[in-house]
Amino acid sequence: DTGVSQNPRHKITKRGQNVTFRCDPISEHNRLYWYRQTLGQGPEFLTYFQNEAQLEKSRLLSDRFSAERPKGSFSTLEIQRTEQGDSAMYLCASSPGGRELFFGEGSRLTVL
Amino acid sequence: AQSVSQHNHHVILSEAASLELGCNYSYGGTVNLFWYVQYPGQHLQLLLKYFSGDPLVKGIKGFEAEFIKSKFSFNLRKPSVQWSDTAEYFCAVNAGGATNKLIFGTGTLLAVQP
């Protein structure tokens, strides 16, 4: 499968713990996006990378959230000191530079 | 700020019924418009897209959408739904700029009864 790959698919953690999600985009896609989706809502934009540069961050991305794309390939999204309100599906998407985004299956986070 | 409104949150239809899902966006400039579909347990998949040209666009699985600029609308249609169309449908707008990020609506959950 050459689509966008995300792992882990599911993560259950206790409040206050740190979690990290990984996204492997489609090969040669230089643009990478993170979104968050909660029940009954559409995906909400979190942050955007062009190659290794993080060019935009949403106000939703509090200082407990950090995202990296160190070599312009895979990306990680870390949440520190998780809170119950962080429970959501975290989606990664990549794009070859055009206007269409290709989404992964998401990483579901449950904070107890 | 750009926003997208989907008026129908939950739609229930019988097989062979016609479908129309509403989508309105707020942005005065040039937009690119999308419909994505999420089948149960699967990832978001592109159903169709509008960039320019013919405002009536055709997508996969018999879906089509019409861009009406004067109404800021991009409604999704299908003349005859099937049970396999049961899914959540998201309208999205890309207002350009440096990021080309998509702004999504809240989604419409479609249940098709056999």
Q: What is the pLDDT along chain A (112 residues), one digit of tens a residue?
A: 569 999 999 999 999 999 999 999 999 899 999 999 998 889 999 999 999 999 999 988 899 999 999 988 999 999 999 999 999 999 999 998 777 899 999 999 999 9
pLDDT band at B2 (very low <50, low <70, confident <90, very high): confident
Q: What is the mean pLDDT of residues B30-56?
A: 92
Residues of B in Cβ contact (< 8 Å) with A102: 46
Mean pLDDT for all residues in chain B: 93
What is the predicted pLDDT for the residue at A2? 67
Q: Which of B111, B76, B77 is nearest to B91 (CA)?
A: B76
A42 and B4 in contact by Cβ < 8 A?
yes
What is the predicted pLDDT for the residue at A1? 54
Q: What is the pLDDT of residues B79-102, one digit of tens each?
A: 999 999 999 999 999 877 777 889
Distances (CA, A) of B39 to B47, B85, B86, B97: 11, 8, 7, 30
DSSP label at A85?
G
On the CB side of A80, how many CA atoms lie within 13 Å of its CA?
A: 6
Q: What is the mean pLDDT of residues B38-57?
A: 92
What is the predicted pLDDT for the residue at A97? 78
**Beta strands A107-111 and B19-21, pairing class:** unpaired
Q: What is the mean pLDDT of residues B61-77?
A: 95
- A51 in Cβ contact with A72 (< 8 Å): yes
Q: Check pLDDT > 90 for residue B30.
A: no
The answer to whether A42 faces chain B, any CB pair under 8 Å, is: yes
Residue A81 CB neighbour total at 10 angstroms:
10
A48 and B99 in contact by Cβ < 8 A?
yes
Compute the distance between CA of residue A52 and CA of residue A48 in angstroms, rounded to an integer. 10
Phi, psi of A84 (to 5 degrees): -60, -30
Q: Residue window 8-37, chain B: list those with CB within 8 Å of chain A.
A: 9, 32, 34, 36
C-alpha distance from B110 to closest chain A C-alpha (Å): 13
The answer to whether B49 faces chain A, any CB pair under 8 Å, is: yes
C-alpha distance from B29 to closest chain A C-alpha (Å): 16
Q: Check pLDDT > 80 for residue B26.
A: yes
pLDDT band at B54 (very low <50, low <70, confident <90, very high): very high
